[in-house]
Structure 1
Amino acid sequence: MDLIASTETRRQAALGKLNPSTQAVLGQFFTPAKAAALMASMLRVDDLSGTVRVLDPGAGAGSLSAALVDRLHTERPDLAVHVVAVETDPFITPYLRATLEECQATYGISYNLIEGDYLLDERAELDGPFDLVIANPPYGKLASDSPARLATAARAVDTPNAYVAFWARAVASLKKDGQGVFIIPRSWANGPYYRPFRHWLLSTTSLDMLHEFESRTKVFADTKVKQENVIVTFTLGPQIPNVTLSKSVAQDEDPIARSVPFSALVQSDDDDKIVHFAEGVSVPSAARFTLPDLGIGVSTGKVVDFRNREYLTNDLDTPGVTPMIYQSNIRSGGIEWPQAKARKPQGFIAIDDAAIRQLLPQGPYVVVKRQTAKEDRRRVVAGLWDGSSKVAFDNKTNYLHESKKPLERDLARGLMLWLNSTVLDRYFRAFSGHTQVNAGDLRRLPFPSREDLILLAKTAPDGLPDQASLDAVVAKLFSEMPDSTA
């Protein structure tokens, strides 16, 4: 059995014995062999010389180290290789040690296995300098006062999640022109939480390649990860003019890659430094407004169901009951209420002040699902609510309004149609890697003017047309009309 096969056997053995609760806390989602090989293949090795120092933080069973060592031996057998591998779980370190010992016996590398918390360990060896870093870091929120977050802020930049903290420390430990490759959630690329990190990263490193997987479940299929993961390769130094965009369904097929200007992925005038994963995704020129430009607000539904169980009911004849709307009620551009076979209560009893404060006035609102899957036909799914009473929205929805009051109906319907269009969906997929559609994301999206949205509502067939018909109306309307003003 060769090194890669035996390492994969160890990975699966270790994975099978993990405590599920510990696995979730430590973020132990070990990299399969094919994904590890893909990551190792993305680093440049032609210009390396002498002894190459490799860092594998959060090494698990050693799959990434083995894949990179195997590639270096195959393509650059003249190099000496020293691996520094870090693992915090003492249950896993025997598997990692076995992998590193096999790397040493097979290819003659040297190594140091460090048992500890990568973000808190102060050993000087972890500060480099390293030629290469390869990592599948754990992910989980870091409290503002957590030691790991404070340590990362002191070394590099404030980070809200463990995976970007790993990334930041690894960058800080690279030698000049040193390279890294990380497989990570895509959430770092947009959103306010990661804005300071993006500013720091883009001023410190060059993004060399962005690789995305079309499937959200196949890469880590045996670990049940449903996070939208991407691979990022980077170099410590100034940004290169062109970045490689790469894509595959999963890790076991040849990627499709193309080179695009960095300026097409990170707009120079964007203070948020959002990193787009597509080039040339555009919307009609008439769609140059944001919701704040249009005077339209976005809020998250007020009702947290588990905190309001006393107000929830399926008896819609109860005195004081009002409609209770969840994201599952959003169907075909409207709101299906009540649902005949709903799994959640369809009524909200609003008699006392605490309940009444969670209601919205009667009238039209656009309700948007906060949680959609990458495999869904659309990432943004919106429905029009226009009921005959006050209404309660679950906090897993966002709703569009005017100063907390209802929208004018044609405007609301135009917003719903635009949000369900393919042109909007493609734009959203280009800049957002969230598995959620957050209020902040909706505020950044491009929209036509209020007048144009009303015209869309009056032009399109009733309800939510099928996708082809809706897209045809959008294309015809906005390709033929001159730009309008808000």
Structure 2
Amino acid sequence: MVHDLLAQAERNRVAALTGLDPKTQDSLGQFFTPARAAALIASMPDLPEEGCLRVLDPGAGSGILSAALVARVLDQRPNLALHVVAVERDRTVLPYLTDTLEACTAAGDGRVTCDVIDADFITASTGTDQDERLSGFNLVIQNPPYAKLAASSADRAAVRAKGADAPNLYAAFLSLATATLSQGGQLVAITPRSFCNGPYFGAFRSYLLDQLALDRVHVFESRSTVFADTGVLQENVIFSGTKGGTRNQVMLSTSAGHEEEASHRNVPYSDVVHPDDPHRFIRIATNEEDTKTAERMLSLPDTLASLGIKVSTGRVVDFRSRECLLTQAEDGAVPLIYPGNVREGLVVWPREIRKPQWFQPITDKDAKMLLPEGWYCVVKRFSAKEERRRIVAAVWSPEQTPGKVAFENHVNVFHVNGLGLDRDTALGLSMWLNSSLVDKFFRTFSGHTQVNATDLRTMRFPDRESLRQLGALAPERLPIQHEIDTLVDKVLDMVDTAV
């Protein structure tokens, strides 16, 4: 019976997915959960032995998450009843949702009841037209929609009025779903990993972590398997949390995809959300090697602030300065550096890439976009899929190209109050940031290819003298990865010996 229920729910999912209008699917952010992934999500909440659980499935789609939860309860909890409230706005999907929930009710033999709310979950949870059924839940299970919310949108304003800020539909759904929980209620969701770090989700992350204590976080090693039939290439996590719960420990687990066995480990809560981290990044060290990497990084003595070094995004936003961009050298023009100029640890300029290579300031405002002659360390803000490292760093050398320089907005630039670094510090920073140690640590809190200046500011670094020693050892061209790591280990060993 349980197998039949999930099989029917999967058939409804496939049929509903086939019938979606691609434009509507994109605007609504619809990505329906496969049966095996749904079963994994439904396995995460702690279920009582008896009683009746009120369950919310917002943005329910074809209802497969509700079906997976019902199947688990029927299989494992003979004395537990469920009342499921499923919310869905797409009327082309509603018949499949209704069919799935009717199958759940029939399989439950009196233990399962269901309500379907034909509405937009954000509208039904906010404003003057709130649905009174959307409160007092013991459990929320969801795969929220994935799409951006404009800062000026009515939906974002409605969520903000509820006390949270959500730059994305999935963050909005998580915020509002958390608000529907009773104290001690649980939330389990599959989402992109992008909310775990960076300033973009900072306010949402603070709201969520204030409301919920994380119980478990599951990471998929593959970016392509979970939603393979929808074409999504995304690093996803499943996480569960308890409203007002205790913050003692978190179970971290990982699997290649949703069909493989997972490995598990319990870690202290403070390893996942550091109590002294003002940005409240969610750090996911899924194995002992990740933990050792994090411990080694966090034991380092300095931050950029204590080193007196700043990092900023490049000042030139090219589409706003089109009149200043040149493809040929002219009097008064200076080098313009894009990510494409970063090559093997050096900023190579000019290069034959599909970007203008010169910047000629016209107004005083344009002139303020330039940095004076000096050594700078540069990091790509977005790494390409084929690159081995998430953080790709290089050095701008005034010895090779004297004079002022302009950096485009898709690179991060390390400087000292708008001035250059000394040579050895610039080279040392580049070597350090290109190391496997930094790459492994970065991956514990970042699930995407974007590298924000905020991410770099939160990291720890060797002391100034160690960075300069590393820079003094650096060859002209970036060596192979093994050689970088050997030099970094050598300098860190010297630091450990000194301590």
TM-score by length of 1: 0.90
Aligned: 1:303 with 2:293: no
Consecutive unaligned residues of structure 1, counting only runs of 5 or more, are none
In the superposition, relative to structure 1, how do residues 7 and 52 fare at CA in structure 2: closer, same or farther (>3 Å)? same
Between 419-428 and 185-194, report the one with greater CA deviation. Answer: 185-194
- CA–CA distance in structure 2, aligned partners of residues 103 and 112 of structure 1: 12
Consecutive unaligned residues of structure 2, counting only runs of 5 or more, are 125-129, 286-290
Between 84-93 and 146-155, report the one with greater CA deviation. Answer: 146-155
- CA–CA distance in structure 1, aligned partners of residues 96 and 251 of structure 2: 35
Among 282, 287, 290, the alignment partner of 1:275 is 282
Among 357, 363, 375, the alignment partner of 1:364 is 375
Among 15, 18, 22, the alignment partner of 2:17 is 15
CA contact (8 A) 2:329 2:358 kept: no
- CA–CA distance in structure 2, aligned partners of residues 234 and 19 of structure 1: 34
Describe the SS at the equivalent of 2:117: strand
1:302 to partner: Cα distance: 2.0
Aligned: 1:414 with 2:414: no
1:262 to partner: Cα distance: 1.1
Aligned: 1:258 with 2:269: no
Q: Which residue of the partner structure matches residue 63 of structure 1?
A: 64
Q: Structure 2: which amino acid aligns with 1:324? A: L
Describe the SS at the equivalent of 1:2: helix
In the superposition, relative to structure 1, how do residues 14 and 348 fare at CA in structure 2: closer, same or farther (>3 Å)? farther
In the superposition, relative to structure 1, how do residues 137 and 412 fare at CA in structure 2: closer, same or farther (>3 Å)? same
CA contact (8 A) 1:205 1:239 kept: no
- CA–CA distance in structure 2, aligned partners of residues 20 and 322 of structure 1: 45
Q: Structure 2: which amino acid aligns with 1:115? A: D
- CA–CA distance in structure 1, aligned partners of residues 309 and 430 of structure 2: 13
Q: Structure 1: which amino acid aligns with 2:231? A: K
In the superposition, relative to structure 1, how do residues 196 and 467 fare at CA in structure 2: closer, same or farther (>3 Å)? same
Q: Which residue of the partner structure matches residue 480 of structure 2?
A: 466
- CA–CA distance in structure 2, aligned partners of residues 295 and 191 of structure 1: 22
Q: Which residue of the partner structure matches residue 127 of structure 2?
A: none
Describe the SS at the equivalent of 1:268: coil
In the superposition, relative to structure 1, how do residues 74 and 437 fare at CA in structure 2: closer, same or farther (>3 Å)? same
In the superposition, relative to structure 1, how do residues 172 and 415 fare at CA in structure 2: closer, same or farther (>3 Å)? same
1:144 to partner: Cα distance: 5.2
After TM superposition, the structure 1 = structure 2 runs for residues 415-434 of structure 1, keeping only pairs within 5 Å, are 415-434=429-448
- CA–CA distance in structure 2, aligned partners of residues 224 and 432 of structure 1: 22
In the superposition, relative to structure 1, how do residues 78 and 178 fare at CA in structure 2: closer, same or farther (>3 Å)? same
CA contact (8 A) 2:151 2:167 kept: yes
Q: Structure 2: which amino acid aligns with 1:326? A: Y
Q: Which residue of the partner structure matches residue 126 of structure 1?
A: 134
Aligned: 1:236 with 2:243: yes
- CA–CA distance in structure 1, aligned partners of residues 161 and 374 of structure 2: 51
Q: Which residue of the partner structure matches residue 168 of structure 2?
A: 161
Q: Which residue of the partner structure matches residue 292 of structure 1?
A: 305
Among 341, 344, 359, the alignment partner of 1:332 is 344
- CA–CA distance in structure 2, aligned partners of residues 313 and 4 of structure 1: 60
1:471 to partner: Cα distance: 1.0
In the superposition, relative to structure 1, how do residues 267 and 90 fare at CA in structure 2: closer, same or farther (>3 Å)? same
- CA–CA distance in structure 2, aligned partners of residues 484 and 139 of structure 1: 49
1:474 to partner: Cα distance: 1.2
In the superposition, relative to structure 1, how do residues 351 and 199 fare at CA in structure 2: closer, same or farther (>3 Å)? closer
After TM superposition, the structure 1 = structure 2 runs for residues 208-223 of structure 1, keeping only pairs within 5 Å, are 208-223=215-230
1:467 to partner: Cα distance: 1.2
Q: Structure 2: which amino acid aligns with 1:120? A: T
1:296 to partner: Cα distance: 1.4
1:444 to partner: Cα distance: 1.2
1:61 to partner: Cα distance: 1.7
1:28 to partner: Cα distance: 1.1
1:439 to partner: Cα distance: 0.9
Describe the SS at the equivalent of 1:50: strand
Q: Which residue of the partner structure matches residue 443 of structure 1?
A: 457
Give aligned pairs, total. 481
